[in-house]
Structure 1
């Protein structure tokens, strides 16, 4: 275990930039997983991080000590910081004081869609993005494709909202969704408040690609025109539409329900 006590340390300065600057995260191809749950999930599902960063007070916490013990047993890198330095790079209020620095995977689309997947066209809110990823993982979906205008999936806010879903998903960013839909070997279902076909009337017992759009504008018209089906989720209350993350969850678990009947 290495200890840093100075704000002027070059390694610490890089952590500060990584914590607070999206451009730095993209440039370095790294991000920070803040909190016990994310760290435990990464260890279980992905293995060793590039580095574990802990606050001095967290070293008295049982779950943190277990994480540190696993890393040291496997010759992982652990960095200890005074509480004041750790708080300067953490975005979690009242957190326990542990985070991982990890590489963010870069994936390129290698072939046509042939399995259950989620396509996100300009979903910009990090909370919505994380919730959709979490629901997709819970529904057994493995592939997620995001357009260039979508929120960065590996940002701290998205990571916290997804609660570890990233580590069981294959996430593709900056994807040409129109080309993906045109070449897909599965049906594409786009949600639209103007559709006439109800979600519950579509046969979802085979793989499909779900297409969800921007919080305000919805799915772009060109993508809507390419979709195999445009579907609507009927609702009774006096509201215009569902939140995109809620809409996605309803769709995913209607497919789960149909496949369990």
Structure 2
């Protein structure tokens, strides 16, 4: 295993850019999977990474050693570096020092919107995005459409919040949501505190496209007018609305409940 000790090493400089710059991740079409769990999930569902990186203190860790062995058996390059140098790349505190560099998966969106999906308009918080992806994967929803204003789905923060959900989904980024919605062959539902119909009174037994928007401003008005229906999530407390990730989870699992009844 090659040991990298110089901060001027070309490979280390590339890793540092990927760890710190969303622009570089987009430009290079690559990202980092930080930590044991994401790396295990990727090997299980996503294939082989471009590179495996491990801190010197983690080389002998049983879980890290197993992942390194799997990578080496598949011909994946593995490199090690001093702990202090590795920490510059990692945002995980007190974790096992291992990460993967991967090519960001690219998918071609279907010609029509015909199966259950999630449409995200200008959703900007990485934690909310990752949580929505995790809930969608758990609910069996596979297709995710992200507008150009939505956070980069393959950023380290979103990946950590998604907990491996990314590798079970097909995520389409920089999407013109309005154009996608014009192809819809299933209902498009948007939540609104002003809607009259409860989510629990809507038939969700078939395919549904869920539309969610910016954390503060909500869904853009022009997209909201394209939705088939607006629905409200009833709540008893005096809070005006739910966090968008919480609202999405309620919607997805009401759909699951109805389809399993």
Q: Does TM, scored on the shorter chain, surpass 0.5?
A: yes
Displacement of 1:7 in angstroms is: 1.0
Displacement of 1:175 in angstroms is: 0.7
RMSD over aligned Cα atoms? 0.9
Distance in 2, matches of 1:253 and 1:147, equals 24
Distance in 2, matches of 1:85 and 1:154, equals 23
Contact 1:193 1:232 in 2 (8 A): yes
Distance in 2, matches of 1:252 and 1:93, equals 31
Aligned to 1:226: 226
Aligned to 2:91: 91
1:85-164 matches, within 5 Å, as 85-164=85-164
1:179-190 matches, within 5 Å, as 179-190=179-190
TM-score (norm. length: structure 2):
0.98
Distance in 2, matches of 1:23 and 1:151, equals 11
Name stretches of at least 5 consecutive residues in structure 2 with no aligned partner. Answer: none
Contact 1:211 1:219 in 2 (8 A): yes
Which 10-residue stretch deviates more, 81-90 or 108-117?
A: 108-117
SS at structure 1 position matched to 2:88:
helix
Contact 1:191 1:219 in 2 (8 A): no
Deviation per residue, 1:191-231 (Å, 9 max, x gap): 11111111000000000100011111111111111111100
Distance in 1, matches of 2:66 and 2:235, equals 47
Deviation per residue, 1:151-197 (Å, 9 max, x gap): 11011100000000000100001111111111111110011111111
Distance in 2, matches of 1:213 and 1:12, equals 37
Which 10-residue stretch deviates more, 33-42 or 89-98?
A: 89-98
SS at structure 1 position matched to 2:94:
coil
Distance in 1, matches of 2:82 and 2:148, equals 39
TM-score (norm. length: structure 1):
0.98
Distance in 2, matches of 1:178 and 1:162, equals 26
Displacement of 1:11 in angstroms is: 1.1
Distance in 2, matches of 1:144 and 1:217, equals 20
SS at structure 1 position matched to 2:109:
coil
SS at structure 2 position matched to 1:129:
helix
For these two proteins, the number of residue pairs brought into alignment is 261
Distance in 2, matches of 1:117 and 1:131, equals 15
Aligned to 1:235: 235
SS at structure 2 position matched to 1:89:
coil
Contact 1:195 1:232 in 2 (8 A): yes
1:41-56 matches, within 5 Å, as 41-56=41-56
Does 2:8 match 1:8? yes
Deviation per residue, 1:59-86 (Å, 9 max, x gap): 1211000101111112211111111110
Name stretches of at least 5 consecutive residues in structure 1 with no aligned partner. Answer: none
Distance in 1, matches of 2:211 and 2:7, equals 45
SS at structure 2 position matched to 1:52:
strand
Displacement of 1:108 in angstroms is: 3.9
